[in-house]
Structure formats: structure tokens, C-alpha cells
Amino acid sequence: MDELKNKLKEVFGYDKFRGNQEAIIKNILAGKNTFVIMPTGAGKSMCYQLPAILQEGTAIVISPLIALMKNQVDQMNAFGVNARFLNSTLSKSEINKIKRTTLEGEVKLLYVAPESLTKEENVDFLKQANISFAAIDEAHCISEWGHDFRPEYRRIKDIIKQVGQLPIIALTATATPKVQLDIQRNLQMEGADIFKSSFNRDNLYYEVRPKKTVKKQLIKFLREQAGKSGIIYCLSRKKVEEIANFLQVNGIKAAPYHAGFEAAVRMKNQDDFLNEEVDVIVATIAFGMGIDKPDVRFVIHYDVPKSLEGYYQETGRAGRDGLEGNCIMFYSYSDILKLEKFNKDKSVTERDNALILLEEMSSYAESAMCRRKQLLHYFGEEYSDDECKKQGKCDNCRFPREEYEGKEFVKIAIEAAKQTQERFGMSHLVSVIRGSQNQYVKSYSHDELPIYGAGKDKDEPFWKSVVRQTLLNEFLIKDIENVGVLKVTEKGHGFLENPFSVQLTKNHDFSDTDSDEDESNEHPSASGGKSHDPVLFDLLKAERKKIAKEKNLPPYVIVQDPSLEEMATTFPTTTEALSNINGIGMGKVQKFGGSFLKLIQKYVEDNDIDIEDVVVIKSSGSKSKNKIYIIQQIDRKIDLEEVADEKGWTMSQLLDEIEMICYSGTRLNLDYYLEQFLDEERQEDIIDYFLTAESDDIDDALEEFEDEDYSEEDLRLMRIKFLSEHAN
């Protein structure tokens, strides 16, 4: 006992164990098979790291994610423990070196990807090594009922058998009773000692919001959380990049993360998040497993997850230090329908399994019962919602929905399960209760049962809610062996004999959502949005005049009227938001932006303007690619005719692009090109004109120089030179 605590303090710096850690470690040291079910952030990795350090030989840790391996190996090496990993990122020579040091007994922890474990040469190597035990992390990957099923995990037991009679520790943060059974059977460890911690994370706040004007909701929430770390999960890579870009434009330090990026980009963005260079990471679910960042203050699901297991694990990345963690999901039933379509090419069994998981997800979102109670019930843990109600730790407990007397409805739900021989799931029971004419009901002759049609006056969502609440109130129970099947409990049978009052809650109505997000991707002023604020416009105009006088420049050089109008429409209060205004880029912001920003910030504050209603939504596309190309060519002093030819543009089209770059605040040096046909004196004449002109209109300039031999192209090029030197 003393040795355990001494080692805990010596290596990890902790004075005491958390929860079941000590009992689990003793169990492994005794050479017993061990099954650990412990929520994210409760200290699972310690359960195999400490016994590996204390025992002779090398412990192998089978882990599905390369990022997780690297993170833990770096951490162990920082503690002075020799840990290594074997996966596809290593070269042949690196692999050979790791194998050699392992065989020499120097490596205490060897992390192995399941794909690497199945290779014959690796199995042969492990047979020769002195392996103390095998840890299987993310063990839910074994089960096809888990949210992250990996077929290669099914082969782990056979491979471990080849290596030797090793004790096994299987660990997972998310396992329903069905998944637990599946893991034990597959690993042939039905007799293992099970250590199950509570799934309740009482510091987390759970909320489901309608997926309506979601970008505005997002900005408002993130502004309230300014400076705090958070993760936003999206289902697609495209959405990840779009939302990260959108947040950056709105002055939020955000970075994207998904498997489509090169490893170096992923690593940089991950490290920037860990090192607090960025506040928000926008990611697919690939991000976060094993990432040791205890102070994630919020986890937002921009899209509905595929299962409650996935949702629970992802929300579990918030508040791992025990302090506040906000978990917000934007929900629309159309997201569920999209996910159903993604499953259409799967086998019938996989499709049915995925459908049941999605039904659980939509039931959770739409239900008005305590979120915590629902989540814990899903993982086989009963929970009284009194504490959640007292503290308001979920939206349903904080803002309770209307209740109604449910005694008769609950009786019908239980009777439906009983009369159909307790062999069916929610959808079938609801079809029987509502008197559905579908072939499935008729094929079992359930249209002849006394309960058939007993609830035909209520719709399907109503009855699904009743069955769900009957389950949560423990009158019904899920059959572990047959997924989706509902059985009557002893409490349920007692209720039929002696009915009593049961209060049920009305579900949320999420029918009015706009998951397809018809929010414009243009600037409001460019897309017929509301007109600009005339008072702010006049203040900005006066500020422009003041700056122009100080700089001895015409006002249009500072910023042009359309840009002022847009500023008076979108109220940009950050440098990023201001730089996104048409005709203003970061260069111009740095030169003239400070006083405009102060003015707008004061105006917004004085007039109590809710600026999340005027979020700037940047449209990005080929323009940014053209911009980089043109700047590079000009830096290399390539003739503009060549640049235009390369792109298949006319000279006028190229000048349109260059002007756009110039107006956004980028300084361009065209001297190398201009001096070919305009001498210094002629250039000075045109510059002098633009310095005193009321506007930079080219028609006005042509009129001014009608007696001179200047073309429209000459004057446009000189206007670019003038603005680059004086405005940018």
C-alpha cells in the first residue's frame, strides 16, 4: 500500500487516488482480468500506467488513436517513464529501434494501434518480449453497438492469446449494458472483476437548443465566454472549415481540425489549442480523445451526434478539472434524417442498429425530462433528478416544461408491451397503440389485441414520449440481449394491478428549425439586408474627415462611403470584424482603424445594440486564391500582361482584381511596371491630382486629363499606386 502511494507521489505528484483507481491497480497487480467503466476525465489511464511502472517487463496498451498515443507517450516521458508507440507514422528504422529497446527491457509502456497489432512480424516480436499485461483502451470499439465500432478490435483476443496468457484490463468511458456484455464476451473475460464508476458529471450543464439562426446564437454565446477554451463539433469537414472561418471573421480565436488536414496542420492547431494560442477548436469527432486539457469550459454540438454514447463522450471533454462545463447541442430533426441517409448503403443489420441509436438521440433532444437522468439511465445508472432540479444543471430542470397526469397513458404503454409478449421496441408499441394498419402489425395479428388502437386520438410523437417516460420511470426496461426490445418490470406489473398518479412532461417542439441554415453568406449591405444606421454613418463620416485633415489626405483615401455604410450596418467592434468590411483590410485597419473601432464600440454600448443580430458572415472563395497568386506575381515583378494571359483575363479584368486587393488594404508596388511607359514627372502629375480630388472616380480623372495622353488603364494603375502609398 505504501509503495503504491509513494510511486503515485513520486511519478505523478498526487497525494491520493481518485475513485476506484486504487482498487483497480491492486486488481491488475494481482494478475486478474479487470473491466473498468469510468467516465472521461476520471483518470482511466492512471489505472494501467502505474501498474506498468511497478511490474517487471512491458505493458502493451492497445489504443485506436494516434493523437491519443502521442499525447500519452509524451506525458509519460515527461514524468521520466520510458514509453513508446508502434503505429503507421513510424519509419522502419524507428520501429526496429523501439522493438530492440523493448526486448532489452527498457520500455515500460508500449502503445500499439490495433492495425499494427495484427501484423505477423509484430505478433512474433511481442512473443519474444516480457509482456506484463495488456490494456485495451476505448474498449467500446469492440462492440458493433458501441458508437465507434472498429472491426480490427474483434481480433484482439486471438492475438493476445498468441502472445501468452496475459492478464487483461479493458477500459471504456461509454458503455451501455448491452455494450458492456458485448465487450466481455468478445474478450472472453466474463469472469473479470468489474469496476464501474458513476457516469454522473455534476459540474456539467446540459442544454439542447433549436437549430435556428444558429450562427447568431453561436456568436452570442462565444462572446459571453470570451477568453475561455471550448470545442465545437461538426459532422462534416466542410462544415468544420466554414464555421472556423466564420468565427475568425467575427473576432474569435478559432482553428479547424479534421482528418483531411496534413498531420503538421492538425498538430499545430491542436498544440495552439493546448497552449491557449486559440480559444476555440472546431472539429470533427476525431478531435479530443485522450487530449489532456482540463479547462475546456464548453463543448458545442453544431450538428446532432450519431449516438448518445458519442454525445456523452464528447461532452465529457468539458470541465475535466471539476469546474464549470457548458454542453450545448443545436438540434433539428432534419439532421437526424440526414444521418439516416448516410446509413443507406450499410448492411440491413448495421442500418437497423444505427436507426435505434438515432432514435435514442432524438428522444433525448426532444424530451423535457431531466437531461442528466436520461443520460445516466441510458448507461444503466438510475438517478434521482432532485439535485439537478435544485441546481438547474440542465435546461429542462432550469426551465421546467408543463406536466400532465399520465396514469392512463402509462397503463396503455405497459399493456402494449405485455400484450405483445415483451418482444418489441418503442416504434412497434406505438404503432399498436395508435391502431396502425402497417403490415408489420398485421403480420403478428397485433391488430386483434385489446390494446390495439387504444391511443388513436394522439399522434406518434406524443406516444413515443409516453413510452420513453414509462421507461425512465422504470415501469419498462430494455432487454440487454435483444437491442431495442422493451420488457415490463416488476414495478410495471405492480402498477397495472394498483395504478397510481404519474406526472408526465410535455415534450419540446423542434418543428420550427432551419437546419439547412438559409442565413446569408454575404455582407448584410451587399445582400439587401437592413439599411445602415444614419446616426452612426454621420459620426463615422465626421471621424473620417478628422483623420483626413490630420493626414493631409482626401477623405476617400481613408475609407470610402460604401465601406462606411457597411460599418454602420454591421457594427464591427473587433479588428477582425472591421478588416472584413468590403474595401477595408487588415492593412487599413492598422493604419486608420483604431479611432473607428472606438467610435463604434462606444455607439454600440451607449445605444445598447445587440450585435449578435448583425454578425458579419464572410463569403470566401476563389477571390482569396486569386489574391495570393496576384500578390506573388507582383512581388516577383512579372509583367501584368503575362499575369493576365496566364489567368485568361483581359487587362481590365486583372485591374479589377488588383483594385479589389488594394481597396482591402494591401500595399502593392507596381513601380517596376509603371516606369516602362510613365516617366516620373507624369506620375507626379497624376498623384498630385488624386491628392486634391474629391473622389477617385476614373471618369472624373479622364475629364481632368482630357488634353493629356493618358488612357483609362494608365489612370487606374496610378490610382492603385496612389492608394497603396497613401491609404494602405
Which residues does the chain have with pLDDT short of 50? 515-516, 518-530, 619-622
User: Looking at the structure, do residues 38 and 151 belong to the same domain, yes or no?
Assistant: yes
β-strands 168-172, 204-210 pairing: unpaired
State the cell numbers at 633: 506575381
Contact 346, 354 (CB under 8 A): yes
Check residue 10 and report its DSSP letter.
I
User: Looking at the structure, do residues 339 and 256 belong to the same domain, yes or no?
Assistant: yes
User: Looking at the structure, do residues 361 and 233 belong to the same domain, yes or no?
Assistant: yes
List pLDDT tens digits, range 522-547. Answer: 343 333 344 688 999 999 999 999 99
Instruction: Tell me, letter by letter, the H, E, C secondary structure of 113-161.
Output: CHHHHCCHHHHHHHHHCCEEEEEECCHHHHCCCCCCCCHHHHHHHHHHH
Residue of 650, 346, 334 lying closest to 518 (CA atoms): 334
Give the three-state DSSP class for 682.
helix
User: Looking at the structure, do residues 659 and 532 belong to the same domain, yes or no?
Assistant: no
**What is the structure's pLDDT at 621?**
45
Does 384 reside within a domain? no
Contact 475, 488 (CB under 8 A): yes
How far apart (Å, rounded) are the C-alpha atoms in residues 712 and 701?
Answer: 9
Does 497 reside within a domain? yes
CATH of the domain at 559: 1.10.150.80
Residue linked to cell 468539458: 318
Does 316 reside within a domain? yes
User: Looking at the structure, do residues 448 and 536 belong to the same domain, yes or no?
Assistant: no
State the cell numbers at 369: 425530462
User: Looking at the structure, do residues 272 and 354 belong to the same domain, yes or no?
Assistant: yes
How far apart (Å, rounded) are the C-alpha atoms in residues 295 and 304?
Answer: 24
User: Looking at the structure, do residues 108 and 177 belong to the same domain, yes or no?
Assistant: yes
**What is the structure's pLDDT at 396?**
93
Domains contained in the chain, number: 5
Q: CA end-to-end span of the chain, whole Å?
A: 70
Sign of CA dihedral 28, 34, 38, 40: positive
**What is the structure's pLDDT at 301?**
97
Count the Cβ atoms, other than its own, within 10 Å of residue 355. Answer: 16
**What is the structure's pLDDT at 309?**
87
Domain end call among 569, 592, 614: 614
Domain end call among 614, 633, 650: 614
Contact 287, 281 (CB under 8 A): yes
Q: How far is CA 637 from CA 23, 623, 626, 655, in A?
A: 71, 21, 16, 16
Does 343 reside within a domain? yes
Count the Cβ atoms, other than its own, within 10 Å of residue 348. Answer: 7
Q: Tell me which residue range forms the domain holding 543.
A: 524-614
CATH of the domain at 692: 1.10.10.1390
Does 514 reside within a domain? no
**What is the structure's pLDDT at 259?**
83
Q: How far is CA 460 from CA 113, 326, 467, in A?
A: 45, 32, 11
DSSP line for 697-726: -HHHHHHHTTTS---HHHHHHHHHHHHHHH
User: Looking at the structure, do residues 354 and 469 belong to the same domain, yes or no?
Assistant: no
Q: What angle in degrees, to the nearest 10, is found between the helix axes of 622-635 and 651-663?
A: 100
State the cell numbers at 665: 488594404
Does 721 reside within a domain? yes
Q: How far is CA 654 from CA 62, 483, 639, in A?
A: 57, 63, 12
Residues in the chain: 728
Contact 339, 328 (CB under 8 A): no
Residue of 101, 135, 93 lying closest to 117 (CA atoms): 135
**What is the structure's pLDDT at 75?**
87
CATH of the domain at 491: 1.10.10.10
**What is the structure's pLDDT at 519?**
45
Residue linked to cell 454591421: 570
Does 349 reside within a domain? yes
State the cell numbers at 144: 458493433
Dihedral in degrees, nearest 10, Cα atoms 589, 591, 595, 598: 40
User: Looking at the structure, do residues 124 and 258 belong to the same domain, yes or no?
Assistant: no
How far apart (Å, rounded) are the C-alpha atoms in residues 349 and 330?
Answer: 29
**Side-chain half-sphere CA neighbours of 238 within 13 A:** 1
Does 599 reside within a domain? yes
User: Looking at the structure, do residues 98 and 242 belong to the same domain, yes or no?
Assistant: no
List pLDDT tens digits, range 137-184. Answer: 988 888 877 667 777 888 888 888 888 889 999 999 888 888 888 889
User: Looking at the structure, do residues 320 and 413 belong to the same domain, yes or no?
Assistant: no
Largest interatomic CA distance in the chain:
106
Tell me which long-range contacts 452-457 makes (C-beta under 8 A, separation of at least 24): 454/412, 454/415, 454/416, 455/409, 455/412
Residue of 474, 470, 506 lying closest to 491 (CA atoms): 474
Q: How far is CA 564 from CA 14, 309, 539, 570, in A?
A: 58, 49, 10, 10
**What is the structure's pLDDT at 18?**
87
State CA 446 to chain mean position distance: 44
CATH of the domain at 58: 3.40.50.300
Domain end call among 166, 196, 226: 196
State the cell numbers at 641: 500582361
Contact 631, 668 (CB under 8 A): yes
Check residue 446 and report its DSSP letter.
G
How far apart (Å, rounded) are the C-alpha atoms in residues 47 and 34?
Answer: 10
**What is the structure's pLDDT at 134?**
94
User: Looking at the structure, do residues 182 and 212 belong to the same domain, yes or no?
Assistant: no
State the cell numbers at 5: 502511494
Buried-exposed string 155-190: b where 16+ CB fall within 10 A, e elsewhere: ebbebbeebeebbbbbbbbbbbebbbbbbbebbebe
How far apart (Å, rounded) are the C-alpha atoms in residues 220 and 199?
Answer: 30
